[in-house]
Structure 1
């Protein structure tokens, strides 16, 4: 079980088939294989040893695909960096998992000097842009041209494949350690469930640093698919790519789907090649599903539910359940049923399975369950018990095994497909001198699913206003984590133990809704 297996098979079986398409560059599997082997040689020449972390801070490109495969081929482990993070958050992830080498594109070269100042262990930075490498950086294409291709290290099984950072429940991001076995078996399940067809043409429009797209990428590699890539999600660019490359599959979050199907120019594009729209982060609303099925009549819809700690897929909702028969049963509001290789159950606070239809915590067991959180044994022990990953999502299961997410036990918000942990935002809000107490909650929003909302008690005499607090946060954390709304109260509702009762703060915003999450 090793993540270069799909590439090796395609090199053997379909060497002249198109492997990647990006901004006019088209490469075959034979060409991709040569570049991956050369990149691996370059990485080893720069001191990468088995298991060493290699970071990448860049928008989507064909070189991002090469980065994943080249790092695995060299024997290293990836640290794909969230491009929306602040310098402080990026530096934390680099230092935390001891990333000594990083690839950076033109969009982020301006951060390099500050990252080097903050991260003394960062030995080398490789520029992956098309122009000349800035001073102090190594040129990607020059490295590949000079490097000799090396044999695949064939790291596999329980060998570390990557450290994938998620938001922190205690104020700092957590590095999720995933093995080759974790990611390989998950990709096999995606293919086995029919979510990615053999040899399909797939579009990478969601960020490639995110494991949702990584899951799609690994499944496409396993099935010998062609990777069409756009730098970032933008509705027109997505529709142009589908039309021009006859794209058959794409993975988006519901917010992105909405932006495509409601775009005023959608009628100008030929999108009939699209056969499968995969999505995650939240169920699709009935209204959006109606509009999407009308706008994309040839496409089916497939939902994947999971989390980074599960590599990431745990359940799948098939295309059939989005159509009329499934919708009549309300199945389109579920996250689907356990995927192949996964077991899912709903448990109470003691970890015991609850009765059918009762609400409890969703727990998952299988080969995709993470190795653990990097250097956080206590948090690992809390999350993984007896082989079961306790997701922090509250849900129920029906008689046919369909899982419905109804609430979050973890203090997490999902906005535009990104996970935001309340504690991480609260730790920043609380540093403002005008804040006496604060609580961050998720509130419903039609476009983004949920918005980050902060409730604040001002310090006596403070003249703090909402925009000033938002600006304070934007200087310290990624913009998507920052509060979009601020409300001020005289006092927080407290439990007998003095804990802020967030359920009371959230209640007015979610009144009249069956689900307490978007």
Structure 2
């Protein structure tokens, strides 16, 4: 399997259906596939070779989605940076990835020359924002218009598709290498476990992690659903109503903003599923979810309310559970399909039910290793098992309880 399979399938089955909705622009699945193939050819023209890295420093948008799939189409690797990173952190991440092309939007446009000077491997820049394009960059849409479509290079399977970075307590950057195989299986698992609407309309929070965005997008593509991308300043509840969204991916902060908007709003029956992504650092929000469930149910009476938890090592989404259940502190639910979890006690043996220990995972959705970090990779991946960097306990019902204090991953 490869990341582009879901896109090609959707373009074949639903060529004239709407695929993406951005600010003032709409694309069908046929147009999306064509634009991705042209952008892939343009990236190759900018010097992208098989296995090269393209850094993406931009808020999640329809153009970023095109870029993600174009990189995969061309056989490259996408390194995702949080668009809220400060300049020094962004440079450190890009240099660690050894990216040769940088994709940026309005957030970093004024710093493009400084980024070019401080990022050792960057040779070209692509601008996917809506404001003036920096002098050093090529315009995303202009590259697509000028390029011919090309055949998918068919790079997939265990080849790395994306690098999803997080920072350790000691200041190091660790890039989880997520393969085509792992991202595709995670998308399949999410689509199978959820109540996604066929030919629905999905809306994602731009503050979700890159892994969560990729998995959610893959699930929507498998369903032939459109994807809505709104401006960061756009009111989320208004966008849901305007576009008739059926499936939502939210984070704790965006959920809070939505609840404020929904306080005095009339019920909206179009939404069929709300998925709230919770990182380990978000688990302190757990008690607040008990109050969120009634408010969300009143505003979106037909919605299935779910929470998801995961780490970058596990494609961002490893467990799922209904929202009312997850109100109990750091309980995060049952593992998704294809994923097996175990908790190791201090002596290395499997811990008894309810006892805390180090969490390990096994399955196709786990990372390959950490980018350019063989020692850390040897620690995190031990044969078929991956250390998740957290302490947890498996409860009597098989559900997982997380200790919000993360474990440090140290090189041997």
TM-score between the two structures when normalised by the length of structure 2: 0.92
Distance 1:193 1:331 in 2: 21
Distance in 2, Cα, partners of 1:98 & 1:7:
27
In the other structure, the counterpart of 1:335 is 332
1:163, 1:4 → 2: CA distance? 17
CA shift in 2, pair 1:107/1:408, >3 Å: closer
What's the CA shift string for 1:377-401, capped at 9, x where partnerless? Answer: 1212222223222223222222221
The one of 355, 358, 362 equivalent to 2:355 is 358
SS in 1 for 2:407: coil
| Residue from 316, 321, 326 that aligns with 2:320 | 316
Instruction: Please list the CA deviations of residues 434-481 of structure 1 after superposition, one character each: whole Å capped at 9, or x if unmatched.
Output: xxxxxxxxxxxxxxxxxxxxxxxxxxxxxxxxxxxxxxxxxxxxxxxx
Could you tell me whether the CA contact under 8 Å between 1:87 and 1:114 is conserved in 2?
no
Whether the aligned pair in 2 keeps the contact of 1:199 and 1:223 (CA below 8 Å) is yes
Structure 1 Cα separation of the partners of residues 133 and 252 of structure 2 = 38
Cα drift, residue 195 of structure 1: 5.1
Is contact 2:83-2:107 (8 Å) kept?
no
Equivalent residue in structure 1 for 2:310, among 306, 314, 322: 306
Do 2:4 and 2:72's aligned partners in 1 also have CA atoms closer than 8 Å?
Answer: yes
Q: Residue 253 of structure 2 aligns with which residue? A: 255
CA distance in 2, matches of 1:209, 1:110: 24
Pairwise CA distance, 1:314? 1.7
Task: Indicate the residue corresponding to 1:429 in structure 2.
Answer: none
Q: CA deviation at 1:19?
A: 0.1
Residues 85-111 of structure 1: CA deviation (Å, up to 9, x unaligned):
111111111111210111111221112
Instruction: Indicate the larger mover: 92-101 or 236-245.
Output: 236-245
What residue number does 1:369 align with?
Answer: 366
- Residue 45 (structure 2) aligns with: 45
Alignment of 1:395 with 2:392, yes or no, is yes
Aligned to 1:98: 98
Q: Secondary structure at the match of 1:138?
A: strand
3-state SS of the aligned residue for 2:203?
Answer: strand
Between the aligned partners of 1:74 and 1:409, the Cα distance in structure 2 is 36
Candidates 369, 377, 381, aligned match of 2:378: 381
Offset from partner CA, 1:198-253 (integer Å, 9 cap, x none): 33210022336632222211221222211011132x5x621111111110111112
Residues 259, 151 of structure 1: CA spacing in aligned structure 2 closer, same or farther, 3 A cutoff? same
Cα distance in 2 for residues equivalent to 1:245 and 1:218: 20
Which one of the candidate residues 279, 288, 291 is aligned to 2:292?
A: 288
Please tell me whether residue 151 in structure 1 is matched to residue 154 in structure 2.
Answer: no
Residue by residue, what CA displacement relative to the aligned partner does 1:297-352 show, whole Å, maximum 9, x if unpaired? 222211112111111222111x4xx45xx58xx87862111211000122112332
How far off is 1:409 after superposition?
4.5
- Equivalenced residue count is 403
Task: Give the conservation status (yes or no) of the 8 Å contact 2:360–2:388.
Answer: yes
CA RMSD after TM alignment: 2.2
Corresponding residue for 2:166?
A: 166
Q: How does 1:39-438 map to 2 (within 5 A)?
A: 39-130=39-130, 133-194=133-194, 196-207=196-207, 210-232=210-232, 237-263=235-261, 266-268=263-265, 271-281=268-278, 282=283, 283=286, 285-317=289-321, 319=322, 322=323, 334-410=331-407
The structure number with the bigger radius of gyration is: 1
Deviation by residue 1:242-269 (Cα, 9 ceiling, x = unmatched): 1111101111122321221133x64346
Q: Secondary structure at the match of 1:304?
A: strand
Distance 2:394 2:2 in 1: 34
1-structure distance, mates of 2:32, 2:353: 49
Are the aligned partners of 1:242 and 1:271 in contact in 2 as well (CA < 8 Å)? no
Stretches of structure 1 that go unaligned for 5 or more consecutive residues are 412-420, 424-518
Alpha-carbon spacing, 1:136–1:338, altered in 2? closer, same or farther (3 Å): closer
Question: Can you list the C-alpha shifts for 1:112-137, whole angstroms capped at 9, x where unaligned?
Answer: 11111111321011122345533222
Which range moved further: 199-208 or 161-170? 199-208
| C-alpha contact 1:202 1:249 (8 A) present in aligned 2 | yes
Task: Name which structure has the greater RCO, CA cutoff 8 Å, separation 6+.
Answer: 2
Structure 2 alignment gaps of length 5 or more: none
Q: Is contact 2:205-2:254 (8 Å) kept?
A: no
Shift in CA distance, 300/162, structure 1 to aligned 2, threshold 3 Å: same
CA contact (8 A) 2:55 2:94 kept: yes
**Alpha carbons of 1:109 and 1:76: their partners in 2 closer, same or farther (altered >3 Å)?**
same
8 A contact 1:56–1:102 mirrored in 2: yes
Q: Distance in 2 between matches of 1:103 and 1:181?
A: 24
